[in-house]
Chains A and B, each alone.
Chain A
Amino acid sequence: MLLANLFRWNTGPAATQRERGSGSVSEKIELPGHGEVIVGCRLSCEGEGCPRPQLRALKALDEHERGVVIEIVTDNPSVMETIPSMMDMFEGKHLATLKDKANWRIFLRRSA
């Protein structure tokens, strides 16, 4: 499965994204300091290098309405640290980052 990834041209095609759990969702999750929230969109960015996950996160924030919680799944430590910092400059709020084995799940919400 890992080697098969090499022969995928990009992470764009919708089918690939759905296989990896990307897309519109409606899942409840408990976030520290925010209680139970409903995740409205998940971006699977595993294997993606900077700045693709950051650009995708910005686009997702832009495409969704205020209040929608967006989850970004990444295995890139730089992405994990940069995305929360980005929220200072863009209309988003970083809610929490959860660690899941070697992945991070970053939760954002559009604030304006």
Chain B
Amino acid sequence: MSANAEAMKQRSLLAHPGGYKAMAIILLVSVLSFVMLAMDMRWIYLLVYVWFGVIYGVLLQYGRFCMASAIRDLFAIKVPRMAVGVMIATALFSITAGLVTVSGYSTFHPHPLGWHIIVGGLVFGFGMIFTGGCASGSLYKCGEGNIASMLVLLSISFSQALFVDMGSWSNRFAPSSWVESATEKGMPESLTVNDGWFDTFTAGYVWDLSGSTVAQSVASGNTWIDVFVGNALLGAILPTIVLLILLYMTTFRKGYIRRNKIESPAFKDHLTGFWSMMTASKNTALAGLGLGVFAGLQMWATGALREHYNIFNFGELLKNMGYTEGLSVQETVFDPGYWYITTQEAQLGGWVMDKVGMDVMDNIFFGLMNGIPNPLINAPLLMSVGIIAGAAILALTRHEFKWKVPNMETAVFAIVGGALMGIGARLGMGCNVGAFFAAVTNGDMTGWIFLVGMLGGGLLGVKVFTMWVDWRTKDDDFDF
């Protein structure tokens, strides 16, 4: 074989065992997709979630994209590259989400504004420092063979399910005003909305709040102005630019000027430096671009399918297809129509708890809103599986897949940190994706409030983690 042909074979996807495994995963997902479509074309609705998940997984692994890393790297080691990638993704998704909104296919609903947003962000942000990854980051790291990240997912799943299904013992922590307000809502008795802290919190506090998007506040009468000037420009792009400038001024500028030996930096030097910061990590920036584009495309695809099947929620389609087990009392399931992470993980935890005999449908979260469908037909959950598969495909191809068994400390951090992330996500009505990324890009300013909470929790988490590492290593023969 000639040297060129040999070199080309080495560069080929199939040149190594990892490549074969990656192709096997693609083949498996493809075959299962065809089988499902052959059984019933309506499974296309679920498969859209799956394949977008695969794409997200590839992009996340390619760019090492993780919001925990963005916050942690800023505070612990003053590296802004991941934060820059997140901002790029945010700005771009706001445009694609805007296009989806003006087309009438948006599936987004703003979150109610209240103190719970920032508290949820704080708890979530603190937890993710110890787990080593945010909600989406932990998913893609599972695809790299990281067992600690798998522990994080399990912990997030069950902590959420237990948190939303808290029993009567937690009533003492709910203000009486919440209980009264929850009772007045006239919900079905089976849901026991005035029993259990989280139910009372939801029905007696959150439901009394309101939320809106910037577009709804602008209300100029022209949808394009409302969405692109309101949601995209004012709600996402301008704050993003301000944050990027702050990142440059506080973390990147000093090193850039020193490296380039610029004695008296002029404005154009700062412009060049700013661009250097934006492109310092090309794969992260590209991943951010890709995520922004595909997140918008998913919203469009799901919205178009809802219109095609004349449904409001996937639960209706499941019922039409003969699958009624696990639906909520409203015959709905969790079906955001866009990238989301934590609620479907809670559903997994709830489904397992149901199978072992616990009654988890007597609350608002599962019983009224999201249901606990079989994981095999839980569309957002299969999107998360797709993320893991997509990350595995790329990791295997790049020789980056390795089973990593955590030591006891890492395992404990994964479980405890994951539990905090789960609780924070439910309080804040989402995670770094659902409560921040999807929110700000659709003009919901509560997303920025959640980010502030995440930053605060992340800063505290970094300080505690650093103290822990210093303490654990102080007695070593070499101190590092």
Contacts and interface: CB of A to CB of B under 8 A. Distances in A.
B479 interface: yes
A77 B406 contact: no
- Categorize the interface residue count of chain B: 35 or more
Contact of B79 (A5, A22, A85): A85
Given A14-B478, A85-B81, A89-B79, A51 B405 contact: no
A34 interface: no
B466 A55 contact: yes
B148 interface: yes
Contact of A49 (B148, B254, B408): B148
Given A47-B405, A89-B77, A63 B410 contact: no
Contacts of A33: none
Contact of B409 (A10, A41, A81): A10
Interface in A57-112: 57-60, 63, 75-78, 81-82, 85-86, 88-90, 99, 101-102
Contacts of B252: 88
Interface residues of A, number: 47
Interface string B446-480: 00000000000000001001100100110111111
Contacts of A55: 76-77, 466, 469
B281 A63 contact: no
Contacts of B403: 2
Interface in B399-426: 399-411
A5 B402 CA distance: 15
Given A55-B469, A59-B479, A102 B402 contact: yes
Given A6-B411, A77-B144, A86 B79 contact: yes
Contact of B132 (A5, A14, A49, A102): A49
A8 B478 contact: no
Contacts of B254: 89
B399 to A, nearest CB: 6
A79 to B, nearest CB: 9
A35 interface: no
A48 B410 contact: yes
- Which of B77, B146, B280: most chain A CB closer than 10 A? B77
B408 A89 contact: no
Interface of B: 61, 64, 66, 68-69, 72-73, 76-79, 81, 131-133, 144, 146, 148, 251-252, 254-256, 259, 280-281, 283, 395, 399-411, 462, 465-466, 469, 472-473, 475-480
Interface of A: 2-3, 5-14, 17, 22-24, 41, 43, 46-52, 54-60, 63, 75-78, 81-82, 85-86, 88-90, 99, 101-102
13 contacts: A6-B411, A9-B409, A11-B407, A12-B472, A49-B146, A78-B69, A88-B252, A89-B77, A90-B77, A99-B399, A101-B399, A102-B401, A102-B402
